[in-house]
Amino acid sequence: MNIRKFIPDIKRYMDDSMNPIFPDEVSHEGLIVPEIVLKYGSLFGKIRDLPAMAPYMVKCIFEMKKSYRGLKKQPDPGKTTISSSEISKLTSYIKDIGVSDIGFAKVSPSDIFKGKAILFDNAIVLAIEMKHEPISTAPSKKAGKEIFRTYLGLGQAVNKVADFLKNLGFKAEAGPALGGETNYPLLAEKAGIGVIGKHGLLITPKLGPSLRLAAVYTDIENLPVLNENPHLWVKDFCNKCNKCVRKCPAGAIYEDTKILTDSTEEHIDYKKCALPFSNDHGCTVCVKECVFFSSDYEKIKSSFIYK
């Protein structure tokens, strides 16, 4: 089965008059989780979890279509600078709709996946927490449902934020949580929300690795982008820890992160990851076993840096 037939394609909703931004020659292929599971996972696991996960998948695809249908509905002309009071209104609204963390980043063409495109190169990155209690039971059906609850919540949130910006007079594009156009962990790391750990997941002070990401793109030129990421020490910690490497049931996490020819990093063998992911309700053991899931970020930092 070709799962891409069922996933909306942003290019069907774009035309040349929109002046889309395309990936460059070093951009990577975007991996769609359901596609990986279908190709490399187990048939039994797919069938067993279908009744629980299908409603979330259907709603996620609905929100994705809503995002793409909104591409042409832009204020004309739109404002390209935002006031401090409007930033305050925006961040307050984002938190009010259940988003756990926010950051701002500039999107490079290399951040855009091959075969994809976006309209604007400034990103508002959103993170929503996967709740601690269900994720602590991973691998389990409860944890699997929490993963997809978070995907759906983000899909709804990006559409609300895009509409909020448009009502303020700004152009905006909602980036879907599931099957998006850009590398969300890289954008979140650029935005200073956190740092990508050994397992390839974003680690943040507020949420550890227990989160999912999405983004809203805009042409606002003066978003409060950070110049430095204060969390880079985490990478050194991960290189000494390696707990996720030891605990991964598939042995899918590289102990020595691969550095590709374009200087980007590859953290996991996704083909190996697909089997426990499909067999065990989305697995998520790498999240549960991460030291930053069960321990306080500042305590880890103090003991590691100031020991």
Give the residue-averaged pLDDT of 42-53.
65
Residue-wise pLDDT for 186-201, tens only, equals 999 999 999 999 999 9
Q: Over the Cα atoms of the chain, what is R_g?
A: 19
The overall average pLDDT reported for the chain is 91
Instruction: Enumerate residues 6+ apart whose C-beta is below 8 A from 218.
Output: 120, 122, 123, 124, 165, 170, 171, 172, 173
pLDDT at 270: 86
More confident residue, 278 or 229: 229
286 band by pLDDT with thresholds 50, 70 and 90:
very high
What's the chain's length in residues? 307
pLDDT at 56: 82
Res 126 pLDDT > 70: yes
Question: Is residue 215 classed as helix, strand or coil in its secondary structure?
Answer: strand
Could you tell me the end-to-end alpha-carbon distance of the chain, in angstroms, rounded to an integer? 53
205 band by pLDDT with thresholds 50, 70 and 90:
very high
Give the residue-averaged pLDDT of 262-291.
88
Question: Is residue 255 classed as helix, strand or coil in its secondary structure?
Answer: strand
The structure's pTM equals: 0.93
Structure tokens at 295: 């321990």
As separate numbers, helices (DSSP H) first and strands (DSSP E) second, the chain gives 12, 8
43 band by pLDDT with thresholds 50, 70 and 90:
low
- Token pair 């048939």 in the structure block, residue: 43
Give the residue-averaged pLDDT of 219-245.
96
Lowest mean pLDDT among 81-90, 141-150, 268-277: 268-277
Res 87 pLDDT > 80: yes
Res 163 pLDDT > 70: yes
Which candidate, 135, 134, 138, 212, places its Cα nearest to that of 179? 212
Q: What angle do CA 123, 124, 130 make, to 5 degrees?
A: 125
pLDDT at 211: 98
46 band by pLDDT with thresholds 50, 70 and 90:
low
- Distance CA(72)–CA(69), nearest Å, equals 7
More confident residue, 296 or 270: 296
- Distance CA(56)–CA(4), nearest Å, equals 17
Res 278 pLDDT > 90: no
Give the residue-averaged pLDDT of 28-36.
72
